[in-house]
Structure formats: structure tokens, C-alpha cells
Amino acid sequence: RILATPITEIRQRSRRLERFAIAGGGAVFRNNCGQCHGAGGQGALGGFPNLLDDDWLWGGTLDEIQQTITHGIRYDADSDTRFSQMPAFGEVLEPAQIDDLVQYVLQISGQDNDAAQAAAGKALFLENCSSCHGEDGKGSKEFGAPNLTDLIWLYGGDAATIRHTITYARYGIMPSFSLNNRLRPEDIRKVALYVHSLGGGR
């Protein structure tokens, strides 16, 4: 019945089926996802997203969560994986320009910053970063670009870490769980329902 019912309709059709799926999904999650996301889905600095909040790089609806689990992120072996790549701006910008960008990111995230450098960094941001992160810095789920204004960081939000991210870029990878039957389709659906139930799903 899990696969026979559209994932977005399971709750309204059968609360019992939903509870069964979430319980099973929790067990599958702990065995396959907890190593990176934490046993409770709390995530960790270093590129492992917190699944308990409402901050989603690629979308937090049931369908979007299922898509992410099914095909992964930047997982080259799956042709349907979601893909985006941040440039390494150390190859494009001068160190002083990167310093200005750092100050601007600190500013829009509400942290202490050098106002003069941030003003210069804003122009650089609009020219180099806004196509993915948006002119307001609030990110884009279309590109998996993080919101830079909410103090939720995958790698850290201090000046040194932001500078490293801008200079060298980041390239987080999540495996495809459908490839080579790593998880059965019904288990992928159960995990999606479980993750959505943690409180961060839309």
C-alpha cells in the first residue's frame, strides 16, 4: 500500500499507514542516513544538513525530499541527480575583494562587520553571487544555493570559514539511494515520510 498511494496522500487516506511508514522509515534512516545527518536528524557542521529545521537547500515538500533521497545530490553515477556547483572565487577575485565579500556576508547575516568593506562587497556580491543566492542573499532551491541571511550554516559562519568557502568553494555530495537498489522504493518512501515528520518538512 505504501507504493500504491501517492506520497502526498498517505496522511489523508490512512493515519495508520502513515504511522507504519514513519516507524519503518525511522529504522531505515538510522541505518543508512544517521552516519551523516545524525541519529536524530540534527546534522553537523561540515556539510551535513540539519533535517529538523525548515531550511531546505533543495526543497522540503514530501515530493522534494523523496526526489533527493532517490537520486542524491551531485552524485555523478545517477543521471537524475540534482546538480549545482559554486565557483572557487579564489581563481577569479583578488584576496582583497574576497575580504570585502566576507564582510558583506557577515553583514547580511547580522554579524559584526566592517561597514566600508561590506559596502564594496555588496557590489561584488551582486555581480558574482546573486544569480544563485539571490540579490537579497536568501538563496534559491532551484540551484540548492543556501540562504546566507539566517545564521544556518553547513560549514560555519565565522569570517575565516566564509573566506575559505568563497575562495575554494564547497562540493557536498549525497549518494543516490535508488541506484543499484541501495534502498527499495518502498523504503525510500518511508524515509521521506520520516524525514518530513521530523518537523522541518513543508
Identify the structural domains of the chain with CATH numbers, from first to last.
7-83+173-197 (1.10.760.10), 89-168 (1.10.760.10)
Angle, CA 55 vertex, CA 199 and CA 36 arms, to 5°: 80
Q: Which three cell numbers stand for residue 72?
A: 542524491
Q: Cell 545530490 maps to which residue?
A: 73
pLDDT in tens, the chain (202 residues): 799 999 999 988 899 999 999 999 999 999 999 999 999 999 999 999 999 988 999 999 999 999 999 999 999 999 999 999 999 999 999 999 999 999 999 999 999 999 999 999 999 999 999 999 999 999 999 999 999 999 999 999 999 999 999 999 999 999 999 999 999 999 999 999 999 999 876 7
Among 197, 47, 51, smallest CA distance to 189 is for 197
Distance CA 30, CA 69 (A): 14
Among 39, 76, 73, smallest CA distance to 56 is for 73
Gyration radius of the chain over CA positions: 19
pLDDT for res 13: 87
DSSP line for 41-82? S--BTTTB--SSSS--SS--SHHHHHHHHHH-BS-TT-TT-B
pLDDT for res 199: 82
pLDDT for res 1: 79
Among 56, 47, 17, smallest CA distance to 144 is for 56
Q: Are 146 and 38 in contact (CB under 8 A)?
A: no
The one-letter code for the residue type at 27 is A
Q: What are phi and psi of 7, to 5 degrees?
A: -60, -35
- E strands, the chain, where? none
Q: Are 175 and 183 in contact (CB under 8 A)?
A: no
Q: What are phi and psi of 31, to 5 degrees?
A: -85, -25
